[in-house]
Amino acid sequence: MPDVLIPFLLVGPILLLLALGIVTILIREQRRRLVQEQEKQLLLAQQNEQLEQQVAARTSEIIAQRNDLEQALADLRTTQSQLVQREKMASLGELTAGIAHEMQNPLNFVTNFSDLSVDLVAELEEELAKEQLSEKGQHTIQQLLQELIQNQSRIHQHGHRADRIVKSMLEHSRANSTQRQATNINTLVEESLRLAYHGWRAKNKDSNATLLTELDPSLKPVLVLPQDLSRVFLNLLTNAFYAVAEKSRQAPPGYCPEVCVQTRQVGNTVQVRVRDNGNGIPAAVREKIYQPFFTTKPTGEGTGLGLSLSYDIITKGHGGTLSVDSKEGEYTEFTISLPLDPKKRLA
C-alpha cells in the first residue's frame, strides 16, 4: 500500500471516534438536562404540596374564625333579646307598682268605712230598740239591718283581700326580676288557678267550670323567676276560662266546661300542662298565636300581647319551651317545659 493512502485510512477511524465522542457528550448533556428537569418537577410538586397545605390550614383557620363570629353574633342576639325582655318586665313592674300605690288609698277607705259602717249599724240597732215600732216594722228593719251588716262584712272581707293583692304586687315590683328563687311550682300553679278562676267568675257570674288538678307531689323546687312565671300561668288559665265560656254560649245542653292543670317531671325538665275543652285554635292561625298583638278575640277583649310575652318569658327568660296542641272544636293544651338546671340551658 502506498504511503500516500495511509493518512486517508487513518482519517476514517478518527472521524468515527470523534463522532462517537460527540454523541456521547450530547447524550450525557441530554441526561443531565432530564435530571435537572426531573429535579425541577419534583421541587415544583413539593412546593405545590406545601402551598396546598398552607391554603388548607388557612382555610380551616378562616372557617374557625367565621364559626366563632357566627357564634358571637348568635350570643349577641340572644343577649339583646334578653335585655329587651328584661326592659319590658322592668317597665311592667314600674307600671304595676304605680297602679298598686294608687289603689292603696281607696282600698284603705273602703275597709275603714266598712268597719265604721258595721259600728254605725250596731248603734242604729240599739237606738231602734228604744223606739216603739210595730212588730212588722221591727221585723222588716231587723232584716234590712242584717242584710246591711252582711254586705258590710263582705265589703270588709274583699277589701282586705284586695289589699293583700296590692301588697303582693308591691313586693313583686320591689323584687329583683333577674334574681331566681327556689319555687314550688305546684303552689305557684294553685295560686294562679285560684286567681284566674275568681277573676273569670267576677266577670261571668252565671258561668261555671270544673277545675281538675293533677299536681305531682314529688316535684322539687325549681330555680325560676316566680313573678314572671305566675304571669304566664295566669295568662294561659285566663285564656282557658275564656275559651270554655265562649263554647258554653254556643254548645248544646249537656256541655260541661273543664279546665285541667297538670304538673310532672319528665327527665331533666318540669312540665306544666294547661288544657281546656273549649273551641280550640284554628289550624290556620296556630302558627301566629305567639306574634305580638295577634289575637283571635273580638276587639276590646284582648291586646294580643299575653301569649307573646308568655313565650318570651318561658323561652328567653327561663330557657324552656312553650308548645300548643289543639283540635278545633274540641280542646286546646299548652305545655310548658322548664329545665331543672337553668344554667345549662341559659349558658
Do 177 and 227 form a contact (C-beta atoms < 8 A)? yes
User: Does the pLDDT at position 243 exceed 80?
Assistant: yes
Contacts of 179 (CB under 8 A, 6+ apart): 225
| pLDDT over 80 at 340, yes or no | yes
Least confident of 52-66, 161-175, 248-262, 333-347: 161-175
The answer to whether the beta carbons of residues 208 and 256 sit under 8 Å apart is: no
Q: Looking at residue 177, what is its pLDDT? A: 52
CB atoms within 10 A of CB 18: 10
For residue 74, report the phi and psi dihedrals to the nearest 5 degrees.
-65, -40
Give mean pLDDT, residues 319-329: 90
Q: Does residue 10 register a pLDDT over 70?
A: no
Per mean pLDDT, which of 34-43, 83-92, 135-144 is the most reliable? 34-43
88 versus 171: the higher-pLDDT residue is 88
Quick check: 346 pLDDT over 50? no
| Residues 269 and 320: beta-carbon distance below 8 Å | yes
Q: How far apart are CA 213 and CA 210, in angstroms?
A: 10
Lookup: cell for 290: 305567639
Q: How confident is the model at residue 347 (pLDDT cuts 50, 70, 90)?
A: very low
- Three-class DSSP labels, 269-335: EEEEEEEECCCCCCHHHHHHCCCCCCCCCCCCCCCCCHHHHHHHHHHHHCCCEEEEEEECCCEEEEE
Higher pLDDT, 10 or 210: 210
What kind and span of H or E run contains 252? none
The pLDDT of residue 175 is 47
Q: Which residue has the higher pLDDT, 156 or 63?
A: 63
Specify the pLDDT at position 171: 56
pLDDT at residue 343 in the model: 58
Is residue 163 pLDDT above 80, yes or no? Answer: no
Across 12-21, 225-234, 311-320, least confident range: 12-21
Q: Confidence class of residue 161 from pLDDT cuts 50, 70 and 90?
A: confident
- Average pLDDT rounded to a whole number, residues 140-144: 83
Mean pLDDT of the chain: 80
State the pLDDT at residue 176: 47
pLDDT-wise least confident of 47-51, 90-94, 110-114, 228-232: 90-94
- Give the pLDDT mean for 288-311: 66
Per-residue model confidence (pLDDT) at position 127: 76
What secondary structure letter does DSSP report for 134? -
pLDDT tens figures, 71-107: 888 888 877 777 776 666 666 666 666 666 667 777 7
- Whose cell is 303552689? That residue is 187
Which of the four pLDDT bands, split at 50, 70 and 90, describes residue 342?
Answer: low
Q: Return the higher-pLDDT residue of 118 and 303.
A: 118
Of the listed ranges 34-43, 218-227, 300-309, 311-320, the least confidently predicted one is 300-309
Q: What CA–CA distance (Å, rounded) separates 235 from 286?
A: 17
